[in-house]
C-alpha cells in the first residue's frame, strides 16, 4: 500500500471510533489562509497532493479529492496508484463535494469536519445541503488529530514592526479608520481572524506562513481598546511597549475564543462571515447581537495610498533590475551556449551538442540548466536588491509541457532540463518592504514553433487589451474579464483560471476583494476603486505541449471625470521586457505594437540606471521597438 492508502485506512478507523460516516479535510487553517503553516496541511499529509487548494472527502468506501483545472494534471500524477479519486471541479459530470455528500449519504448519517478550519460560509452551505436530507454535520470531531502522531506545532517566528517610510499610514490612523466604519454600522466590537488584515491594521509583519509576511493571530477591536492574541514569545517587550502606546494590548493566542465568548450581551459584534471559521463563530454566545459585513480593513488595504504606490513603483524598479540580471544570465547560459556551440565547423556535432543536457564553453563542462536552476537564479538575483525580504510565492518554472500546468512546481524528483526548442514559462515574485511583486514571462528557448508564436501573440493581445482598458469607477471587477479574453476567444481557445487577483502591499500576493474572473460573482465589494493593485495575466495552455501566460501588475488610476462620472484606467507597474522573439507580428495591430513599444521604452528608461554590464546590454537589446524590426 502507498503511504496515502495507509493514512486513509487509518483515517477510516478513526472515523468509525468517532461515529462518522464521512470526513471532510479542507485546505485551510483557523485563519482561512491560502498558504498554510505545516500544522494545518492535513489534506496534503493524507492525500499526497501538494497543490495549494483542494478538498478531500473520505467515506467508508470512497476517497475523492476535488481540485480545479489549474491542478488537474498535477493531481492526476500525484494520486496515481492510490485509493484517492480525482474529482475535477467545473466539469459537467462532477458535482461539488457538497452536492456529492448530499447525494451519496442517507438520513441519519454523520459528516465530520474540524470546525476550527471550516469557513463559516462553507459551514452554512454544507448545513443547507445536508440538513434537508437528514444528514448531521459534526464540527467538533477531528479524526485527523488522532492519527497524525508527528503533527507539527505552531510556528514561532518573531513578529516585527513595519515602519516608515514603507509604512505610510500609522497604526493609530488605521485603527481610527476601522472604528469609524464600526460606528457607522452600529458595532461596538469587531473580530478579525484573517492574517493579512491583522498585519495591515497593526503595521506588523511576521514569517509564520510561507511567502506571506504574516503571523498567526486574532484581534478584537473596541471603541477604545484593541487586543492582539498572539502566541507567547513572538512579540518582545519593546514592541509590546510600542503597541501599548497606541492602545493595543497583547494576549495569548489561545485566549481568543475565551475573549470572544465573554462579549457582553449589550455589545454588538461586527464579523465578516467570509473571513471567519465556524469554530470561532460558535465560540460566541448566540445571544450577542451581530452585524455581518466585510472587514473594513479588507477594503481599506486594497486601496493603496499615493505614498504606498510611490513605494511600490520603487520596488518594481528593483524587481525589474533583478530580472534583467537573471535574464542576462539565462540568455548567456542557455541560448548563448547554444550559439557558441553552433559556430563549430562540424554541423552534426553542433546539432548533437545543442540537444545535450550539459553544454561546453571553452572546453569546460557546464552544469545542465533545469527548472530548479531557474528558481535558484531568479531568487538569488532578487536577494541582491535593496528592500528584498523573500519570494512572494513559490516560483513556477515550466518548460514546454510543464508550462501547460498553471500551478506547476518543479521538484528534485521531477523536473525538466532546459534544452532543445520551445517556451519556458516563469511565474515569480518578491516581497519587498515597499511592495509585493508578481510577474509572469514566457521566453524563447532555441526557436519557438509557429504555433507557439500564435498562442503567445493571442495571450499578448489579451494582456494589452486589458492594460489599455478604461471603465467607470465602481465597475465590478469580474466584468472586466471579457476584455482580456476576447482576443483569445477569437482564436477559438480559452483558459481555466481568472485573469486577475488583487495584490497586497508587502502582504499577501493574492488579496481581495477585487478579482478579474467571469466565474466570480460581481458584487458591491468587487467594485474597482482608485489605488487597487491587480494582476493582469491571461493565458493559454495546451496539455502535454506548452503553456503561455503573460502577467503584469496594474494599479487603478483616475483617468477623467465628466458628465458620465469618474472613469478609471490602469497604470502598468511591472517593469520587464516581453520576449518579442515569441511574437507572430502579423497578428498584432499597429496600436498594439505602439503600446508594446511604449511599454518597452518606459522599462528601458526606468531600469537602465539600476543595471550595468550584461544586464544593461540585455535590457537594451530586449526593448528595441518592434515597429522598427
Q: What is the 3-state secondary structure (H, E, C) of 142-192?
A: CHHHHHCCCCCCCCCCCCEECCCCCCCCCHHHHHHHHHHHHHHCCCCEEEE
Q: What range does the domain containing 380 cover? A: 306-624
- pLDDT attached to residue 77: 87
Decide if 509 is inside a domain: yes
Helix (H, G, I), strand (E, B) or coil at 205: strand
Decide if 207 is inside a domain: yes
Interaxial angle between packed helices 306-330 and 613-622, expressed in degrees from 0 to 180 and rounded to the nearest 10: 100
Q: Provide the β-strand partners of residue 589.
A: none
- pLDDT attached to residue 606: 98
Residue 139 vs residues 68, 284, 297: alpha-carbon distances, Å: 25, 15, 28
CA 361/CA 41 separation, integer angstroms: 45
- pLDDT attached to residue 362: 44
**pTM to 2 decimals?**
0.90
Decide if 457 is inside a domain: yes
The two most distant CA atoms of the chain are separated, in Å, by 88
Cis peptide before 629 (omega within 30 of 0): no
CA 126/CA 115 separation, integer angstroms: 12
**CB half-sphere exposure, 458, CA atoms < 13 A:** 22
Shared domain for 481 and 604, answered yes or no, is yes
Interaxial angle between packed helices 613-622 and 590-607, expressed in degrees from 0 to 180 and rounded to the nearest 10: 160
CA 245/CA 30 separation, integer angstroms: 29
Helices (H), 225-332: 237-245, 256-261, 278-281, 296-302, 306-330
Which stretches of the chain drop beneath a pLDDT of 70? 1, 91-92, 337-366, 628-629
Q: Residues with Cβ < 8 Å from 23, sequence gap 6 or more?
A: 11, 15, 57, 58, 59, 111, 112, 113, 143
Size of the chain in residues: 629
Shared domain for 296 and 334, answered yes or no, is no
* Angle value at C-alpha 199, between 196 and 203, nearest 5 degrees: 145
- pLDDT attached to residue 554: 98
Decide if 429 is inside a domain: yes
Shared domain for 322 and 242, answered yes or no, is no
Q: How many domains does the chain have?
A: 3
CA 174/CA 178 separation, integer angstroms: 6
Q: Residues with Cβ < 8 Å from 432, sequence gap 6 or more?
A: 315, 318, 319, 385, 387, 388, 389, 506
pLDDT digits (tens, 9 = 90+) for 252-288: 999 998 999 899 999 999 999 999 999 888 888 889 9
Shared domain for 94 and 228, answered yes or no, is no
Residue 70 vs residues 97, 118, 339, 390, 414: alpha-carbon distances, Å: 17, 23, 35, 25, 18
Domain end: 245, 272, 302, which one? 302
pLDDT digits (tens, 9 = 90+) for 84-106: 999 998 766 778 999 999 999 99
CA 619/CA 324 separation, integer angstroms: 6
CA 301/CA 507 separation, integer angstroms: 10
Nearest to 46 by CA among 154, 148, 141, 152: 148
- pLDDT attached to residue 356: 41
Shared domain for 495 and 401, answered yes or no, is yes
The CATH number assigned to the domain holding 66 equals 3.40.350.10
CA 460/CA 596 separation, integer angstroms: 9
Decide if 154 is inside a domain: no
The CATH number assigned to the domain holding 375 equals 3.90.230.10
Helix (H, G, I), strand (E, B) or coil at 17: helix
Shared domain for 204 and 106, answered yes or no, is no
Shared domain for 282 and 312, answered yes or no, is no
- pLDDT attached to residue 366: 62
Shared domain for 292 and 363, answered yes or no, is no
Shared domain for 460 and 338, answered yes or no, is yes
Amino acid at each position: 500500500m502507498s503511504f496515502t492508502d495507509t493514512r486513509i485506512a487509518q483515517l477510516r478507523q478513526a472515523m468509525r471510533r468517532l461515529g462518522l460516516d464521512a470526513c471532510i479535510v479542507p485546505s485551510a487553517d483557523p485563519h482561512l489562509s491560502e498558504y498554510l503553516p505545516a500544522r494545518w496541511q492535513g489534506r496534503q499529509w493524507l492525500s499526497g497532493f501538494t497543490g495549494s487548494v483542494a478538498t478531500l472527502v473520505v467515506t467508508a468506501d470512497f476517497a475523492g479529492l476535488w481540485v480545479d483545472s489549474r491542478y488537474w494534471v498535477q493531481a492526476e500524477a500525484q494520486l496515481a496508484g492510490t485509493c484517492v479519486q480525482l474529482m475535477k471541479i467545473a466539469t459537467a459530470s462532477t458535482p461539488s463535494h457538497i452536492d456529492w455528500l448530499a447525494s451519496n449519504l442517507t438520513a441519519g448519517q454523520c459528516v465530520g469536519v474540524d470546525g476550527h478550519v471550516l469557513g463559516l460560509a462553507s459551514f452554512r452551505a454544507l448545513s443547507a445541503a445536508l440538513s434537508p436530507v437528514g444528514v448531521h454535520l459534526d464540527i467538533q470531531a477531528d479524526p485527523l488529530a488522532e492519527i497524525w502522531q508527528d503533527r507539527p506545532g505552531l510556528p514561532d517566528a518573531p513578529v516585527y514592526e513595519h515602519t516608515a517610510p514603507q509604512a505610510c499610514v500609522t497604526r493609530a490612523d488605521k485603527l481610527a479608520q476601522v472604528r469609524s466604519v464600526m460606528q457607522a454600522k452600529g458595532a461596538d466590537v469587531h473580530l478579525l481572524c484573517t492574517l493579512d488584515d491583522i498585519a495591515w491594521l497593526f503595521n506588523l509583519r511576521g514569517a509564520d506562513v510561507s511567502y506571506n509576511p504574516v503571523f498567526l493571530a486574532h484581534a478584537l477591536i473596541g471603541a477604545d481598546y484593541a487586543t492582539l492574541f498572539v502566541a507567547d514569545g513572538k512579540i518582545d517587550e519593546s514592541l509590546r511597549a510600542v503597541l501599548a502606546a497606541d492602545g493595543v494590548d497583547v494576549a495569548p493566542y489561545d485566549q481568543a475564543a475565551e475573549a470572544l465568548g465573554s462579549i457582553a450581551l449589550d455589545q454588538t459584534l461586527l464579523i465578516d462571515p467570509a473571513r471567519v471559521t465556524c469554530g470561532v463563530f460558535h465560540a460566541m454566545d448566540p445571544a450577542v447581537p451581530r452585524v455581518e459585513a466585510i472587514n473594513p480593513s479588507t477594503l481599506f488595504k486594497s486601496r493603496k495610498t499615493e505614498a504606498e504606490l510611490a513605494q511600490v513603483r520603487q520596488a518594481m524598479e528593483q524587481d525589474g533590475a533583478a530580472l534583467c540580471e537573471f535574464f542576462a544570465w539565462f540568455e548567456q547560459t542557455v541560448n548563448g551556449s547554444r550559439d557558441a556551440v553552433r559556430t563549430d565547423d562540424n554541423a552534426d556535432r553542433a546539432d548533437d551538442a545543442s540537444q545535450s543536457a550539459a553544454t561546453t564553453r571553452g572546453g569546460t563542462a557546464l552544469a545542465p540548466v533545469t527548472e530548479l536552476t531557474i528558481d535558484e537564479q531568479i531568487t538569488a538575483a532578487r536577494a541582491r536588491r535593496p528592500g528584498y525580504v523573500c519570494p512572494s510565492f513559490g516560483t513556477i518554472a515550466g518548460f514546454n509541457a510543464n508550462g501547460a500546468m498553471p500551478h506547476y512546481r518543479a521538484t528534485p524528483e521531477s523536473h525538466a532540463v532546459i534544452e532543445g526548442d520551445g517556451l519556458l514559462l516563469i511565474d515569480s515574485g518578491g516581497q519587498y518592504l515597499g511592495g509585493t511583486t508578481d510577474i509572469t514571462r514566457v521566453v524563447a528557448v532555441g526557436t519557438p514553433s509557429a504555433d507557439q508564436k500564435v498562442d503567445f501573440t493571442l495571450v499578448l493581445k489579451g494582456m494589452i487589451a486589458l492594460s489599455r482598458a478604461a471603465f467607470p469607477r465602481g465597475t465590478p471587477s469580474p466584468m472586466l474579464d471579457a476584455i482580456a479574453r476576447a482576443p483569445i476567444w477569437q482564436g477559438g481557445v480559452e483558459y481555466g483560471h481568472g485573469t486577475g487577483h488583487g495584490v497586497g502591499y508587502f502582504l499577501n500576493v493574492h488579496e481581495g476583494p477585487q478579482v478579474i474572473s467571469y466565474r466570480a460573482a460581481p458584487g458591491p465589494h468587487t467594485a474597482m476603486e482608485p489605488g487597487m493593485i491587480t494582476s493582469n495575466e491571461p493565458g493559454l495552455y495546451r496539455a502535454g505541449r506548452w503553456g503561455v501566460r503573460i502577467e503584469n501588475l496594474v494599479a487603478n488610476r483616475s483617468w477623467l471625470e465628466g458628465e458620465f462620472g469618474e472613469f478609471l484606467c490602469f497604470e502598468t507597474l511591472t517593469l520587464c521586457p516581453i520576449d518579442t522573439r515569441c511574437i507572430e507580428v502579423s497578428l498584432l495591430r499597429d496600436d498594439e505594437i505602439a503600446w508594446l513599444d511604449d511599454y518597452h521604452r518606459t522599462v528601458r528608461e526606468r531600469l537602465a540606471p539600476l543595471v550595468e554590464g550584461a544586464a544593461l546590454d540585455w535590457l537594451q537589446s530586449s526593448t528595441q521597438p518592434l515597429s522598427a524590426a
